[in-house]
DNA sequence: TATTGTTATACTCTATAACTATA
DNA sequence: TATAGTTATAGAGTATAACAATA
């Protein structure tokens, strides 16, 4: 053993980088959210679809994808799984487009997902010291758009 | 066409959720960083390894993984690719462990990666309005650990 | 006993190209 | 012409289980 302190993670030299910290924080929080949503047999992307469709009408697969930044092609297996699970149904808008709507089971699952995410968001904010808390969402939005 | 406003992304009902905004901001920023590092033929994980190993000595594959939150098993293909690219080499510590060290080419690539990430981090911070900026890193660290 | 390095495997997310049909 | 829905495919990250060899 050349260096006996080798195994002690003294100080992460990358921790001071906002971009790196952003990635680590997002990974940690999303892993926690995924764990909680798994109790409802939902992935994060599926819960997002439920919440989005629950508040809108006549939302097509493509429109959902644009909102959530998921490509058209990747919406196909996502919505297929949700349809197989009985959470959503497709209703024709015209001969080209279909509206994604929630089934009764989907609405019920949405209620449960809303409770989980509400608790999750509250827990997340509570971890941030009060003086930093009001600045968090505005800072994120500045990066997002 | 049932709803002519269907295609207009009026207001994302999920945008107010800090967790959702955290994910979107991290995705957007990491996509941008990945794009910039790609000009150096580096992935984010590879640049992270370069920066970590560049500041330490006798760091084993397992220790790097613990620092970067990458599992042992997933370090294997990562380091293999970097070794094939001539960026790192392995030096025996004992008959069980190997130290990951930077080759000359690795040190050169690290310098380039440092310039890219320094610019990236500065650009990231500049996008955040001044009054929110000092609160960003502390808030992220509160979520991370 | 615990840890290192490794192999194998599988799942999720993401990205691109291409095609058909319809607006 | 542009858009919707789809298929196929590939890359990247991540997760678990298992194994041999060594600390």
Q: What is the pLDDT of residues A37-70, one digit of tens each?
A: 999 999 999 999 999 999 887 799 999 999 999 9
Q: Check the CA dihedral B131-B133-B136-B137 and report its sign.
A: negative
Task: Give the 3-state secondary structure percentages of chain B, helix then strand then coil, rounded to 5.
Answer: 60, 10, 30
- A142, B129 contact by CB (below 8 A): yes
Query: Which nucleotide lies at the shortest CA–C1' distance from A81?
Result: C12
Distance from CA of A41 to the nearest CA of B (A): 19
Low-confidence ranges of chain A (pLDDT < 70): 1-11
Protein-contacted bases of chain C (C-beta within 7 A): 3-9, 12-18, 21-23
Of the candidates B116, B145, B25, B78, the one whose C-alpha atom is nearest the C-alpha of residue A24 is B145
CB contacts < 8 A (A, B): 181
The pTM of the full predicted model, rounded to 2 decimals, is 0.91
| B4 has a pLDDT exceeding 50 | no
Region for B9 from its dihedrals, namely left if φ exceeds 0, alpha if ψ lies in -120 to 50, beta otherwise: beta
DSSP state of B16: T
In this structure, of A73-77, B3-7, B67-71, the range with the lowest mean pLDDT score is B3-7
DSSP A73-130: HHHHHHHHHHHHTTSEEEEESSSS-EEEEE-HHHHHHHHHHHHHHHHHHHHHHHHS-T
């Amino acid at each position: 053993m050349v260096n006996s302190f080798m195994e002690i993670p003294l100080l992460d030299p990358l921790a001071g980088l906002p971009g790196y910290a952003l990635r680590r924080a997002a990974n940690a929080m999303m892993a926690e959210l995924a764990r909680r949503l798994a109790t409802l047999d939902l992935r994060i992307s599926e819960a997002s679809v439920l919440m989005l469709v629950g508040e809108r009408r006549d939302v097509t697969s493509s429109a959902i994808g644009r909102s959530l930044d998921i490509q058209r092609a990747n919406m196909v297996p996502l919505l297929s799984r949700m349809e197989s699970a009985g959470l959503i149904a497709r209703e024709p808008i015209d001969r080209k487009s279909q509206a994604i709507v929630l089934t009764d089971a989907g609405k019920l699952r949405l209620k449960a997902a809303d409770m989980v995410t509400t608790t999750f968001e509250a827990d997340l904010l509570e971890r941030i010291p009060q003086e930093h808390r009001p600045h968090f969402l505005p800072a994120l939005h500045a990066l997002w758009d």
